[in-house]
Chain A
Amino acid sequence: MIHTDVIIVGGGPAGLCAAYSLVKQGVSVTLFERNSKLGGQLVKQTHKFFGSEKQYAKTRGFDIAAKLIKDLEPYSAFLTIEKNATVLGIYPDKVVTVMKNEAYFKYQCKAIIVSTGAMEKVLAFEQNDLPGIYGAGAVQTLMNVYGVYPGQSIVMVGSGNIGLIVSYQLLQAGVEVKAVIEAASSIGGYKVHASKLRRLGVPILTNTTIKKAHGVDFLTGVETIQLDESWKTIPGTEKTIQCDACCISVGLAPMHQLLSMAGVHMKYIPEFGGIVPIASDTHETSYDGLFVAGDVYGIEEASSAIVEGYLSGLYVSNKLGMKSEEINSQIADFHQQLEYLRSGPFGKKTRQGLEKIKEARNVT
């Protein structure tokens, strides 16, 4: 059994920021990342981020990842980073098991932060398994991490911020974006992103969904169909768009599996994208000493994951008995930041989700 103060599961923005809050106070942290690189989804974000300076706005995603990793360097004495290390299970008494390089390890700690992030949702349509159909994250990984073209011409399904941003990134790489289609009656993401695409000649088709994919061994085109205001397909509006790639960007779901397996009280909250823990105001779950941060506690923008990460690190240090005026004022500041990030129209889902968490807490 290997002992450490705090275990963090997941080295994306939330996990890295949580680690920073802790190691800065001399708490020893072991961070597990199943990938070979830290930074989570930030490493493939080539666009400048929104938010305010405190969340590194106007900095490109991959540069934010590099910054968050660099911020940890001075505290290496307190921090152990295990990459290519998959956490397999969380057991009673804060025992965590890990697989790394085909070997199995057992850890025990005083507190755990789960920041496993999210995974992409899929969309059901005929032939949705054809090669050439990708999740939006995979398209970004191919293009922006490996420098490989996903295809020459693409149809984007979904007009949330990810769909709009990835479409823009595809154009930057030299891929033709034939259309962005959106089942809802209005564009889901920020209109500034939509305008950026539209001025480059990309049509954005609302009330439109994908009916089926064409191709035998590989995608050759997609058939779209229009939807009426009650989301019913309108026969006769089918159109075929030739393309060799199709990108599915229909939202994210929290990666809840470790928490569910550990017996944490969970709840399906659609506003949060799926199954999430019913956590306290200090991000602590029903498992004493197990905290959550980032998309695993409800899908939001990366800026919120960053702030939640810093914040949960501070909550954990409180839990471990570290209390000071400075910690309190930092907590207040991060709270204020989250409040601002969530108070606009795009924060509505998060506000509703948090209300549902509160209600669920009262029930259990």
Chain B
Amino acid sequence: MRIKEHPILELIDKEKIHFFYNGEVMYGQVGDSIAAALHASGIKVLSKSIHLERPRGFYCAIGNCSSCHMTVDGIPNVKTCITELLPGMRVEFQSGKGVLR
């Protein structure tokens, strides 16, 4: 969910952009990170831990914690919290360490 109004910040409605999450069309905003756009659409489980397959979510937002690794346009282990969302991106939930295609 997006914050509609704020006493300090000017949250301007930015241009909508579409992307694909596991093949389904979703929308984010210009300037979003991939993880922020997913979060705004209610997708909060971003990966699973490699050994125990425990769900992992948005944690550090600076590209350090590895909880948000996903496959983007076929490239595995993309840090979605610091990667800018671009129109038409294909974002996929990744199992394990990911596979290079």
Contacts and interface: CB of A to CB of B under 8 A. Distances in A.
Interface of A: 34-36, 46, 60, 119-120, 129-135, 137-138, 141-150, 172-174, 217-218
Given A141-B36, A142-B58, 12 more contacts: A34-B63, A119-B60, A131-B56, A135-B59, A143-B3, A144-B9, A146-B32, A147-B2, A149-B3, A174-B3, A217-B45, A218-B57
Contacts, number: 93
Contact of B40 (A135, A145, A146, A173): A146
Contacts of A46: 8-9
Contacts of B60: 119-120, 135, 137-138
B45 A35 contact: no
Given A133-B57, A135-B59, A142 B49 contact: no
Contacts of B81: 138, 141
Contacts of A135: 59-61, 65
A217 B61 contact: no
A120 B46 CA distance: 20
A131 B57 contact: yes
A217 B47 CA distance: 11
A218 B58 CA distance: 11
A142 B33 CA distance: 10
Contacts of A131: 44-46, 55-58
Interface residues of B, number: 34
Given A143-B3, A148-B3, A149-B1, A134 B8 contact: no
A142 to B, nearest CB: 6
A130 B9 contact: no
A143 B11 CA distance: 10
Contacts of B17: none
8 contacts: A60-B8, A119-B60, A130-B57, A137-B60, A138-B61, A145-B36, A173-B6, A217-B45
From A46, A129, A132, A147, name the one whose CB has the most chain B CB atoms within 10 angstroms: A147
A147 B3 contact: yes
Given A129-B54, A147-B11, A134 B59 contact: yes
Interface of B: 1-3, 6-9, 11, 31-33, 36, 39-40, 44-46, 49, 54-65, 67, 81-82, 84
A130 to B, nearest CB: 7
Residue among A137, A142, A148 with max Cβ neighbours from chain B (10 Å) = A148
A291 B89 CA distance: 41
Contact of B3 (A134, A138, A173): A173
7 nearest A-B residue pairs (beta carbon)? A131-B57, A138-B61, A146-B36, A141-B61, A147-B11, A148-B40, A149-B1
Nearest to A216: B55
A9 B62 CA distance: 16
Given A130-B57, A142-B61, A147 B44 contact: no
Contacts of B11: 147
> A35, A132, A142 — which one has the most chain B CB atoms within 10 A of its CB?
A142
Contacts of B56: 129, 131
Contacts of B7: 172
B9 A218 contact: no
Contacts of B6: 147, 172-173
Nearest to B54: A129
Contacts of A143: 3
A129 B49 contact: yes
Nearest to A41: B62
Which of B6, B59, B82 gathers most chain A CB within 10 Å?
B59
B55 A130 contact: yes
Given A119-B60, A135-B61, A147-B11, A218 B55 contact: yes
A318 to B, nearest CB: 33
B48 to A, nearest CB: 10
A120 B39 CA distance: 21
Given A119-B60, A119-B64, A148-B3, A142 B39 contact: yes
B1 A146 contact: no
Nearest to A149: B1
Nearest to A135: B60
B74 to A, nearest CB: 14
A133 B45 contact: no
A45 B82 CA distance: 18
